[in-house]
Amino acid sequence: MKQGLRGTVKINMYVYEEVIDSIVQEIKRVTGQEVNASEISEPPDSSMGDFSTNIAFSIAKKQGKDPAKVAQELSEELKPRMVDQVTPQGPYINFKVKKKEYTSRALQEAVQEGYGGRESKEENITIDYSHPNIAKPFHIGHLRSTVIGEAIANLNEKIGYRVIRINHLGDWGTQFGKLITAYKEWGDPKELEETPIEHLNELYVKFHEEEKLNPELSDEARRNFKKLEEGNQEQLELWEKIRELSIEKFKETYKRLGIKFDTYKGESHYARTGESEKMVKEALEKEVAQIDLDGSIVVNLEKHGMTNCLIKKRDGSTLYSTRDLAAAKDRWKEYRFKKNIYVVRSAQTLHFKQIFKTLELLGYTWSNRCIHVPFGSLNMPEGAMSTRKGNIVELEQLLNEAQGRVLKLIEEKNPQLENKGEVADEVGKAAIKFNDLSQNRVKDIEFNWERALNFEGDTGPYLQYSHARATGIIEEVSEEAQGKDPAQELNSKEEQEMIKKISEFPRTLKNSAEKNEPHILAQHLLELTHAFNTFYRKHSVKYAETKELKSAILKLVQAFKNTLAEGLKVLGITPLEEM
Ligand code: ARG
């Protein structure tokens, strides 16, 4: 066991994994067979044992024997560490762990700060997420990417990677020609400073209305964008101001959400430095791209079952795609990533397939480290928000609405609570985040306040509430229950179920990270918490018969609380002590 900075525990193999590893080693020693840890699972019923494997099938097949016979023979020879009993059951082999030893190790690990963390791998993972477009409201269209991206970033950090959080801003394109034109016509510097996004959005809308009546404006917008591309002072200054003010505004929301990006290097960087242009040249030179009849430049991907990827328009400008090619190359150069992850809605699946394929055709072997993590849409039903401007829901509004609704609940349930406003904000954010993270990522989701805020349902507030309840129990009994080896007393089914969920936590984190599926972790936290609540309903903690038992239960509740807290933090949710 290694203590990292601030006493945070970082272990490469936790007890649950150690048992599995030992079983794997034993099978190899006895049979000479290499088995994968994933071939060790759990029996359907815990009364059969704690671990199980069907490895006898494949061994029997190779040797032309009966699987049940092999299972029986192996059961006699396998002697894994920390395992008490090895029993054949038909073709299966079940393992029962030494309860006392296992429990004591599991609890000892689980109460440490940073539980589930791994030693640093000194490898980089870049994650591209959130990426709103500047001069536009930060609306709920970006919520899922922001929430899922942050969870995936935290997961990877937790299992030992160095994570680089990238906000690939939509900060370039012809729309800025329009915006500059509109600002020059109708803009107000004071309004721009005070309410930048609102003002810019109004200007943008106005531009489109006026453009219909006055087509001259479109030409002017094109001219202004051209000037911007050429680095003309006036246009550039205005664009820079817009960018700066937008980022400042976005940062307020990120702060509220507890998110910090390492870089805001967005599309403009690749357009302005000429890196996109260079990409086009390289693709032509390597004969990956061709000049089309109309003068545009495309990468032909027909052979690979995809439509062509346009990388330069007829008028000579580069595109979103070109900038993504350049950005990927730039990230590789700077970070030598182990993985380069893009958390972007499903609608862009083809785009990323084209980008990754093009990189491969350009000869970049690291293209297979690029991963698109898609997700479905978030639908806000009519009437879900009391304040609505146009038909877009801004993220800030959504957070305020959540906070307001939670505050009302607190006034009903616990009016004496301190820092009600703050707690309400934390619970509101938890509701919104967990609603997203607990569902299947690729599915479209329908937002529903009653469901997201239900303290008794499978929600963020339910987890926070259970965490607060555990905190209360610990405070209540900790003085009376000290010392003694706790493990010996925790024999009930409910206690054993909790220990199981607690000790599986590190492996779940890893699994969730490797699959880019925060929902695996979210579901585990729900199961863990259900186990705690079932236990709590059945066993009185305060009136435990013996001091030993009280002390054992205390340790169990502490382990639960810490596991849940570590898991919630990874999902970007604040564990609360009281609510
Ligand atoms: N700003 C883009 C949008 O709102 C998403 C950018 C995703 N990241 C990327 N590297 N393409 O659609």
Kindly give the number of the ligand 1 atom that is closest to the alpha carbon of 169: 1
Q: What pLDDT score was predicted for residue 488?
A: 63
Q: What is the pLDDT of residues 120-160, one digit of tens each?
A: 999 999 999 999 999 998 988 899 999 999 999 999 999 99
Could you give the strand order of the β-sheet that contains 289-291, starting from the edge strand earlier in sequence?
Answer: 289-291, 297-299, 309-312
CA distances from 437 to 127, 157, 345, 408 (A): 17, 18, 14, 25
- Whole-model pTM: value is 0.94
469: which 2 tokens? 């309840």
357: which 2 tokens? 């394929």
Q: What is the pLDDT of residues 187-234, one digit of tens each?
A: 999 999 999 999 999 999 999 999 999 999 999 999 999 999 999 999
CB distance 168 to ligand 1 below 6 Å: yes
Kindly give the number of the ligand 1 atom that is closest to the alpha carbon of 344: 7
Measured distance CA(163)–CA(405) in Å, rounded:
35
Q: Which residue type is seen at 413?
A: K
Q: How far is the CA of 265 from the centre of ligand 1 (A)?
A: 12
One fold for both 15-97 and 395-570? no
Q: Are 322 and 299 in contact (CB under 8 A)?
A: no
> Alpha-carbon dihedral of residues 510, 516, 519, 525, nearest 10 degrees?
20
Q: What pLDDT score was predicted for residue 5?
A: 46
Measured distance CA(7)–CA(311) in Å, rounded:
50
Kindly give the number of the ligand 1 atom that is closest to the alpha carbon of 266: 10
Q: How far is the CA of 350 from the centre of ligand 1 (A)?
A: 13
Q: How far is the CA of 319 from the centre of ligand 1 (A)?
A: 12
CB distance 324 to ligand 1 below 6 Å: yes
Q: What is the pLDDT of residues 494-521, one digit of tens each?
A: 999 999 999 999 999 999 999 999 999 9
Q: How far is the CA of 132 from the centre of ligand 1 (A)?
A: 7
Q: How far is the CA of 266 from the centre of ligand 1 (A)?
A: 9
Q: What pLDDT score was predicted for residue 12?
A: 86
206-209: long-range pairs with CB below 8 Å, 24+: 206/182, 207/178, 207/179, 207/181, 207/182, 208/178
Kindly give the number of the ligand 1 atom that is closest to the alpha carbon of 170: 1
CA distances from 40 to 37, 92, 179 (A): 6, 11, 60
Q: Atom 6 (ligand 1): residue with closest C-alpha?
A: 131
- Catalytic residue numbers? 136, 139, 142
Residue from 139, 166, 344 to probe ligand 1 pocket by mutation (most atoms less than 8 Å from CB): 344
Report the CATH number of the 15-97 domain.
Answer: 3.30.1360.70
397: which 2 tokens? 């509004």
Residue from 142, 270, 348, 356 to probe ligand 1 pocket by mutation (most atoms less than 8 Å from CB): 348
∠ CA(158), CA(370), CA(150), 5° rounding? 35
Kindly give the number of the ligand 1 atom that is closest to the alpha carbon of 131: 1
Q: What pLDDT score was predicted for residue 1?
A: 43
CA distances from 133 to 142, 169, 567 (A): 10, 6, 31
CB distance 344 to ligand 1 below 6 Å: yes
Q: How far is the CA of 176 from the centre of ligand 1 (A)?
A: 16
CB distance 170 to ligand 1 below 6 Å: yes
CB distance 131 to ligand 1 below 6 Å: yes
CB distance 128 to ligand 1 below 6 Å: yes
Burial of residue 309 (CB within 10 Å: 0-12, 13-18, 19+) is: buried
Closest CA to 37 of 52, 21, 26: 21
CB distance 267 to ligand 1 below 6 Å: no
Q: How far is the CA of 131 from the centre of ligand 1 (A)?
A: 6
CB distance 51 to ligand 1 below 6 Å: no
Length, in residues, of the chain:
579
Given a cut of 50, the residues of the chain with pLDDT beneath it are 1-6, 388
> Alpha-carbon dihedral of residues 218, 219, 225, 228, nearest 10 degrees?
-140
CB distance 376 to ligand 1 below 6 Å: no
Domain chopping of the chain, boundaries: 15-97, 124-268+326-373, 395-570
What is the architecture of the domain spanning 395-570? Orthogonal Bundle (1.10)
Kindly give the number of the ligand 1 atom that is closest to the alpha carbon of 352: 11
Tell me: domain 124-268+326-373, CATH 3.40.718.10, correct?
no
Q: What pLDDT score was predicted for residue 485?
A: 59
Please state at what angle helix 547-570 crosses helix 460-477, rounded to 10 degrees.
150
Q: How far is the CA of 348 from the centre of ligand 1 (A)?
A: 9
Measured distance CA(341)–CA(366) in Å, rounded:
12
